Structure 1
Amino acid sequence: MTNPPKKPLKVAVIGYKLAEGGLERVFGTTTKMLHDAGIEVHTLVLEDKIDYEFGGKLVAFGQYLKFVKYFKLRNYLKNQKFDCVIDFRHRINPRMEWVFLNFIYRNLKFIYTVHSSRLETYLTDNNWVAKQMIRKSYKIVAVSHFIKQKIESEFNAKLVKVIPNSVSIHSVSTTEKLPFDYIIAVGRLVPLKQFDQLIESYSNSVLPEKNIHLVVLGTGEEQTLLENRIANLNLEDKVHLLGFKENVWGYISNAKFLVLSSQYEGFPMTILEALSLGIPVISFDCESGPNEMIINHHNGILVENQNFTELTHKMNIFVEDEVLYQNCKTNAISSVAKFQSEVVINQWLQVLNYGN
């Protein structure tokens, strides 16, 4: 006698937007993964910014005023009778998170995701509220082992699971071929990414004289500051701020290597995407993320955290030591096999207790 078919799981995945940042891209790719696995997914977006791919049914609440928006959200969650809610929001405001805990998510099974080693970005800076969030949630999903250990250590939490960001190999367009050799950095133009200091490190390296350019993809508040820094260093013909690009993979796939110079990270998608395209990476050894993807001198180079002098030195090595560079390039794709979406989706299904 055959077992009856398993009832499809019904899941709401909530985020602020599907545009601009790495978190938002992970939000979108996760909804797509879950949808492709046969789960009924409702992608709930609290703002009306939608540029990235997503899976399932899209419901946007951005047209409503703030308080109306959250009443609408509560009613939608209650009426749809979801098996689980997965929360991809930044959670900074303790009062707002108290409202989510005691009103919007009341009597619901919900999972919080944490994407940064700065826990206050996802658990607020209020210790009491953070403990309530952890206690009332079904699970906490951290994107790195470091973040998991930090949550467990600071809050004595027991139900923290690690599910890294995932990557799928995209078909790469060749239309983004630029007429020069270049290295690339990707991210919002904000202080966290430290692109001003990256430009300085680049200017101090041998790359400009070797006619290897620096391309930066992203938009943000530091656009003018960075333009001024480039002008002051007389690098207008070598450093290119190309803004937001929908097909970032085309630009990454034609770069010599990717550079990450952030103050801190969670599990940066840009590293994962570059390696999956066969492009090695030079990155600061931030406390969370890069060292769970980069194996030093195997698929890239880890640089002492926040040491920009050393970053310049490592960029020089990567363009002067062809044997090391080609070795890292050869190993890049195979090094991230465990982060393929086909692997990561099974970790989500286990957390949701769905599947075999």
Structure 2
Amino acid sequence: MQNNNKKICIVTSSLGKGGAEQSTALLSKMLVQIGYQVHLVTILNIIDYDYSGELLNLGRLKDQKDGFFARISRLSVFKKYLKQHQFDFIIDNRTRNSWFRETVISKIIYRPYKVIYVLRSYNLDYYFPKNKILAKLLYKNASSIVSVSEEIKQLVEKTYGFKNVSTIYNPIENNPLCLDEIVTLNYNYILAYGRLDEDVKNYTLLFEAYKISSLSKENIKLVLLGSGKDLSLLKQKVDELKLEKSIYFIPFNNKPLEIVVKAKFVCLTSRFEGFPRVLIESLSVGTPVISVNCKSGPSEIITNKDNGLLVENYDVNELADAMNSFIFDKRLYQHCKANAKQSVAKFSVEEISKDWKKLIESK
């Protein structure tokens, strides 16, 4: 660990249940390893992922009491915490879709600190008010805006004209797999994993492609790993497609790689993403991937027919054909599998840490 006296406060909605939250937890560990003094502030009391630094869990206060005056009280606690520690930087990883609330936070709570705003989804409605004038006012004093993909960066620059946008990809943590602890699934399977949110992940497309593919005839199951609000809805869709004997659900696991490593391949069918951890994590353990070419991230991770397959979004037949090709075209599958790990070496913690240090030291 290097020595550095800069103090950084990472603000996040939570530290659990999703890829953005996992990336935030990993960011705290990277910055501590570089040598910065790191604090985290969570809005919700959800802590699933390992992190580094000191934690202010505002979610505990929210659990005790909520409502308008309770929210004002939590903002006061937050403001006093920032004043007490006099941070050199605030890195804001939250979604920011309420113009009034974010105006209060940016103009009162964050003043006069240097703030780096992170964009973790191509859906800019999560981060900017629809009125472009208000959006520019909200972000005009940002020290920097960091996007997790080049496509997000280009969209923000085109839409709002900001000049202080840079891209820093989500990293892969080099955690060795504990082979003795790997969850044993006594069948061949392909995998999709993440939050069970149909509006974003579009698992229906995955189900329909699986149904018309040859995988079930080859006795290859489809496993969904994750938890979320749409579990019942998705189980109902599986029943409607008469796939209850072929599609299995496994609850959220904060160590998904133990299941990923045994999968034939991993699928992603999202309507939109940011820079999906599902893809880089799978490739990092040698599991090839099939992904729709959604906005954004997959095209910056997958080289088609080299480390995985990239298909047109919403095209159920093309997705089914891709699934079949990974089963029946052994040469293609082995080629992608052999290239998987090396293809994501550029997203290692060591490499992405350099990008964060360069950004922070330049301000």
State TM-score, norm by structure 1.
0.96
Name the residue aligned to 1:119. 124
Q: Distance in 2 between matches of 1:233 and 1:145?
A: 37
* One-letter code aligned to 1:286: C
Residue 182 of structure 2 corresponds to residue 195 of structure 1: no
Contact 2:174 2:349 in 1 (8 A): no
Contact 1:16 1:45 in 2 (8 A): yes
Contact 1:94 1:125 in 2 (8 A): no
Q: Distance in 2 between matches of 1:46 and 1:229?
A: 33
Q: Distance in 1 between matches of 2:251 and 2:131?
A: 36
Q: Distance in 2 between matches of 1:36 and 1:125?
A: 38
SS of match in other structure, 1:352? helix
Contact 1:143 1:165 in 2 (8 A): yes
Q: Distance in 2 between matches of 1:78 and 1:275?
A: 43
Name the residue aligned to 2:43. 46
1:206 to 211, 214, 232: 214
Contact 1:9 1:354 in 2 (8 A): no
Residue 97 of structure 2 corresponds to residue 92 of structure 1: yes
Q: CA deviation at 1:6?
A: 6.2
Q: CA deviation at 1:218?
A: 1.0
Name the residue aligned to 1:262. 270
1:243 to 229, 243, 251: 251
Contact 1:283 1:303 in 2 (8 A): yes
Q: CA deviation at 1:272?
A: 0.7
Residue 175 of structure 2 corresponds to residue 178 of structure 1: no
SS of match in other structure, 1:123? coil
Q: Distance in 1 between matches of 2:324 and 2:3?
A: 56
* One-letter code aligned to 1:173: C
1:141 to 146, 163, 187: 146
SS of match in other structure, 1:136? coil
* One-letter code aligned to 1:47: L
Contact 2:271 2:295 in 1 (8 A): no
Q: Distance in 2 between matches of 1:124 and 1:333?
A: 39
Name the residue aligned to 1:302. 310
Q: Distance in 2 between matches of 1:347 and 1:107?
A: 25
Name the residue aligned to 1:323. 331
Structure 1: state its 5+ residue gaps: none
How big is the alpha-carbon RMSD for the aligned residues of Structure 1 and Structure 2?
Answer: 1.5
Q: Which moved more, 1:339-348 or 1:38-47?
A: 38-47
Contact 1:92 1:125 in 2 (8 A): no
SS of match in other structure, 1:13? strand
How many equivalent residue pairs?
Answer: 351
Name the residue aligned to 2:57. 60
